Amino acid sequence: MKILYATHARLPTEKAYGAQIVQTCAALSEHAEVTLLVPNRNGATPERIRDAYGISNTFSIHVVDTLDWVQFGRIGFLLSEWFFAREVRRIVQKEKYDVVYSRDALPLLGLPSDVRTVYEAHTPRWNVFIRRVARSVDVFVSITKGLADWYTEKGVTKDIAVIPDAVDLARFENIPDKEVCRRELDIPEDIFMVSYIGHLYPEKGAHILAAAVGHLPEDITCFFVGGLEQNVEDFKKHYTSKQIVYVPHQPHERVPYYMCASDVLVVPNSGKHETSARFTSPMKLFEYMASGRPIVASDVPALREVLSEEMATFFEADNPESLAEAIISAKNDGVEKAEKAKEAVQNYTWQKRAEHIMKIL
């Protein structure tokens, strides 16, 4: 089977979707002949993409030259995606692919009738292109049940396969113990380290952890690892404390070291944003689970789809005091839950995700 994964996304990227796309292609390539097709945005090359994500030559990467007007706003983005979709159709007709897989709607429209199509939904979108794809696509994938329910409410009548994101367990196989990680990262060994790893967007809830610092004992230090430079600078203006440490965006291979250096990891998704409360399947959650560190998570449906009371300590979303109490609780009795989470994440690997997709195909 020949699969073309077509995405108009910018690769490589500092955002999580880049790793998600590449890991999906790598896992599918264990079952089929896979080609990742991307536009030439920001100097994309196969070598840059492979280097950024540490991916070997298990699948092909094809970069196409196409108009790039993304900087001109919404209209520019749509025109750019339309030209990219036209290239997809040309390549499919020439190379005779069996399946076209995409997180984007436009590349899935106007393809030959003998080509099967897979649309993977990550956000709630309902425009003219999505409506057409919902009617014509062969396989509709959603990363959470909440998102699948949303599309069903909008009128999607076909079965929607709920397939969450996943983790590459190999990234954690050779990570040294906590003490060694801290020495390599120049982090004091005698502090109790609570970490949030990811972007500082409001829906991610990092500000709730920052606000919770005022309710934590002085021996607890909160690390914020990652985020775009401007977001970090804005964040610092609102949240400064001797108990807060900011770490800039880290290379992909370095992130597991920060997780394994931590005593507690926090997923503070906001309940005020429907995307973070119902629709997201954060890859860092599965990485947290793989690290074997105690997890503190906001009590929202999207996280409850994966975690149970046996695996994590929950707190009331958007409540700093509740989050502080949960951190203290995890500090005292989170080890056993962490072991349960690490056991459960064996079912959330990219390989198992690809097997699920291939079974449907």
Where exactly are the structural domains of the chain? 2-163, 169-346
> Which pLDDT belongs to residue 104?
96
Q: What does the alpha-carbon distance between residue 235 and residue 210 come to, in Å, rounded to a whole number?
A: 9
> Which pLDDT belongs to residue 66?
85
Q: What does the alpha-carbon distance between residue 122 and residue 283 come to, in Å, rounded to a whole number?
A: 12
pTM listed for this prediction? 0.94
Q: What is the fold, at CATH topology level, of the domain defined by 169-346?
A: Rossmann fold (3.40.50)
Q: Which two tokens stand for residue 75?
A: 């209209």
> Which pLDDT belongs to residue 74?
84
Contacts of residue 201, defined as CB under 8 A and 6 or more positions apart, other chains included, come to: 231
Stretch 5-21: mean pLDDT, rounded?
94
Q: pLDDT tens for residues 22-47?
A: 999 999 999 999 999 999 988 899 99
Per the DSSP assignment, residues forming a β-bridge with 353 are none
Q: What is the CATH number of domain 2-163?
A: 3.40.50.2000
Mean pLDDT of the chain: 95
In percent, the amount of the chain with pLDDT more than 90 equals: 90
- pLDDT of 19 > 90? The answer is yes
Q: pLDDT tens for residues 314-357?
A: 999 999 999 999 999 999 999 999 999 999 999 999 999 999 99
Q: What does the alpha-carbon distance between residue 148 and residue 220 come to, in Å, rounded to a whole number?
A: 39
Confidence of residue 56 (pLDDT cuts 50, 70, 90): confident
Identify which of 358, 199, 338 has the alpha carbon closest to the alpha carbon of residue 262.
338
Q: pLDDT tens for residues 90-109?
A: 999 999 999 999 999 999 99
In percent, the amount of the chain with pLDDT more than 70 equals: 100
Q: What does the alpha-carbon distance between residue 354 and residue 352 come to, in Å, rounded to a whole number?
A: 5
Stronger pLDDT, 68 or 86, i.e. the higher one: 86
- pLDDT of 280 > 90? The answer is yes
Q: What does the alpha-carbon distance between residue 301 and residue 249 come to, in Å, rounded to a whole number?
A: 28
The answer, yes or no, to whether the previous bond of 12 is cis (omega within 30 of 0) is yes
> Which pLDDT belongs to residue 70?
81
Encode 118-137: b = buried (16+ Cβ within 10 Å), e = exposed.
bbbbbebeeeebbeebbeeb
User: Would the CATH topology of 2-163 be identical to that of 169-346?
Assistant: yes
- pLDDT of 172 > 90? The answer is yes
Task: Specify whether the CB–CB gap between 60 and 67 falls below 8 A.
Answer: no
